[in-house]
Amino acid sequence: MDLQLIVLGLLTGALTGAFFALVDVPIPAPPELPGLMGIVGLFLGYKLVQAAGLSLDILDSIGL
């Protein structure tokens, strides 16, 4: 992982969130911690399956 990209992503998100708050527009993300943790869980699940080398070709499974 590139720490510079992580910091840049965090900074971009913080600035965007501040802009949304300044113009009084709701953020396009879950406003509560459980919703945010759902997004983190989705990301972690995706990365775990990728790291395990698992995949499923759905079109192949249904014969297309």
User: Three-class SS of residue 55?
Assistant: coil
pTM over 0.75: no
Residue of 21, 22, 39, 42 lying closest to 30 (CA atoms): 39
Greatest alpha-carbon span in the chain? 52
Token digits for 62? Answer: 């249904």
Domain boundaries, the chain: 3-61
Residues written for the chain: 64
- Per residue in 9-55, pLDDT (tens digit) is 999 989 998 999 999 998 877 778 888 898 899 999 999 999 999 98
Burial of 25 (0-12, 13-18, 19+ CB in 10 A): exposed
